[in-house]
């Protein structure tokens, strides 16, 4: 993409000045963990799309019109960091986003992380999830989503980013080491 940031240092410099950050990527990639850590370091309100917009108690999907209204209201805030891919809402988020962090970790690592999350949180509601939505074992559809993310979902993200955020800088993180380096550099800058 045209506006890709090339180095962790470049990304840290942009992030340190940003007021509105989107963290996207595959399930199990660490979006919420990264967004939460950056939110603390930068004093940005952290919004988890799963918790704030997508889910109602009992794993019921929120009505799309209500979901869109909540997202539109949230992105109007002056400062935020939002984790969640949801490319169907890029038209709302990208015009207000200062920088995108795209976690593109190997699928085996996303699957491993997801299974670790299930093992440690099964039956409990995580702090980044909507009330009444306890962690559950993934179904075949969810596992296929993770396995096929790069082939099926990444091209949609690229298309929607080009369409709704052509001038938004993007930094792609491909390893946990890059994530750690980014957090270290942002901490040192603030």
Q: Is 106 contained in some domain? A: yes
For the entire predicted model, the pTM comes to: 0.93
pLDDT at 29: 93
pLDDT at 3: 60
Average pLDDT for 108-135: 92
Q: Is 157 contained in some domain? A: yes
Q: Is 36 contained in some domain? A: yes
Q: Is 28 contained in some domain? A: yes
Q: Is 1 contained in some domain? A: no
pLDDT over 90 at 1, yes or no: no
Average pLDDT for 164-184: 93
pLDDT at 2: 45
Per-residue pLDDT of 39-87, as tens digits, reads 999 999 999 999 999 999 999 999 999 999 999 999 999 999 999 998 8
C-alpha–C-alpha distance, residues 182 and 38, integer Å = 9
Q: Which domain holds residue 17?
A: 8-189
pLDDT at 86: 85
- pLDDT, mean over the chain: 92
**What CATH number did the domain enclosing 171 receive?**
3.40.50.300
User: Total structural domains in the chain?
Assistant: 1
Q: Is 90 contained in some domain? A: yes
């Amino acid at each position: 993409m045209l506006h890709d940031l090339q180095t962790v240092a470049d990304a840290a410099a942009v992030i340190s000045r940003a007021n509105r950050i989107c963290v996207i990527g595959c399930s199990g990639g660490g979006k919420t963990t990264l967004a939460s850590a950056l939110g603390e370091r930068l004093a940005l309100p952290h919004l988890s799309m799963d918790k704030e917009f997508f889910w109602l108690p009992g794993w019921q999907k929120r009505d799309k019109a209500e979901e869109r209204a909540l997202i539109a209201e949230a992105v109007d805030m002056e400062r935020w960091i939002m984790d969640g891919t949801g490319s169907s809402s890029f038209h709302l988020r990208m015009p207000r986003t200062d920088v995108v962090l795209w976690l593109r970790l190997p699928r085996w690592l996303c699957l491993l992380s997801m299974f670790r999350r299930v093992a440690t949180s099964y039956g409990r509601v995580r702090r980044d999830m909507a009330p009444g939505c306890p962690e559950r074992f993934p179904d075949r559809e969810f596992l296929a989503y993770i396995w096929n993310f790069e082939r099926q979902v990444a091209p949609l993200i690229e298309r929607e980013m080009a369409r709704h955020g052509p001038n938004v800088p993007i930094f792609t993180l491909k390893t946990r080491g890059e994530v750690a380096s980014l957090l270290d550099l942002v901490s040192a800058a603030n």
